[in-house]
Amino acid sequence: MKHLLSAADLDRAAAVHVLDTAAEMAATQAREIKKLPTLRGRTVVNLFFEDSTRTRISFETAAKRLSADVINFSAKGSSVSKGESLKDTALTLQAMGADGIVVRHHASGAPHLLATAGWVDASVVNAGDGTHQHPTQALLDAFTIRRHLAGRGAAGAGASLDARSGVGLDLAGLHVAVVGDVLHSRVARSNVQLLTTLGARVTLVAPPTLVPVGVETWPCAVSYDLDATLADSPDAVMMLRVQRERMSAAGGGFFPSPLEYSRLFGLDARRLATLSDHAIVMHPGPMNRGLEISAEAADSARSVIVEQVANGVAVRMAVLYLTLATKES
Ligand code: CP
């Protein structure tokens, strides 16, 4: 795998391979082998044109745990603010010998352009582009679901377990509800693709104003009724952040109102109490507490939100290893 640009790049075998590799990385960390020599001599550039806490820090941690040299580049405070183009920024990174470029950009398609325009030889990993894709978020979400739930799905019970380790191989038959601002969510797009590739059934739940045009062609169900979807016993409920900054940038307001939104689409204590005993609560972060998720839900025993962040390091170690370790120096 030279690049990772989209969850659609991964067929079932490739996705399972990344998740298995991430499990091996997590096992080394659990054994307190904090640093592996795998990427010694390689340079990874974190090229972030949009703000990030979790993704940027976990890619940096992952690269350092694989012994790579890391350069953090933030558009704020760089020559991008003087008008420098993506092409000239890329040529600069190429001149500095970047082997891997982890890119987050507000424009959908920017990582694809970087990977295919011929400006750099480096591997390109998409760390979130516009409303398009966030493949490593989907991988860490699948990794987290697998750790908690693989083999529980109606269609996959037992059959999808590895005979030696008992670890689930895929998410066959699991039901995942993805709830909230689907319109602006690269996390939703990536998760629908990856989770269905791995055999899960996905239901998107959103107000009609926050559902993208063409969603009927996606491989999932769509509902406008959160309570009805929760009555269908999802194994995982993934709450999405309401992206108010993208609504303002598009000249739109928040509709429905925040109060209506949290009443109709928020995960609160009442809805939390209706979930199956084994169901988990997820959120990619950052959260709007009190809007899409209440403090009771975010901090409950069902919540795996902090674990998602921790799993992000192992998953990103796996992605950097699989894209960079086999490259010639
Ligand atoms: N989930 C996620 O992408 O978070 P950050 O924006 O903090 O990286």
> Could you tell me the distance, in angstroms and rounded to a whole number, from the CA of residue 85 to the centre of ligand 1?
24
According to the model, what pLDDT value does residue 157 have?
43
As a 3-state breakdown, the chain gives helix, strand, coil percent values, each rounded to 5, of 40, 15, 45
Beta-sheet strand order (sheet of 280-282): 221-223, 201-205, 175-179, 236-239, 280-282
Indicate if the pLDDT at residue 56 is higher than 70: yes
> Could you tell me the distance, in angstroms and rounded to a whole number, from the CA of residue 54 to the centre of ligand 1?
5
Is ligand 1 within 6 A of the CB of residue 173?
no
Indicate if the pLDDT at residue 107 is higher than 50: yes
d(CA 295, CA 274): 17
According to the model, what pLDDT value does residue 154 have?
55
Indicate if the pLDDT at residue 119 is higher than 80: yes
Is ligand 1 within 6 A of the CB of residue 116?
no
Neighbours of 162 (CB within 10 A): 12
**35: burial class by Cβ within 10 Å (0-12, 13-18, 19+)?**
exposed
Tell me what ipTM this predicted complex has: 0.99
Pocket test for ligand 1, best of 46, 50, 55 (most atoms within 8 A of CB): 55
Which residue in the block uniquely carries the two structure tokens 């000249």? 251
pTM: 0.94
Region 56-61: mean pLDDT is 98
According to the model, what pLDDT value does residue 33 have?
83
Average model confidence (pLDDT) for the chain?
Answer: 92
pLDDT tens, residue by residue, 189-229: 999 999 999 999 999 999 999 999 999 999 999 999 999 99
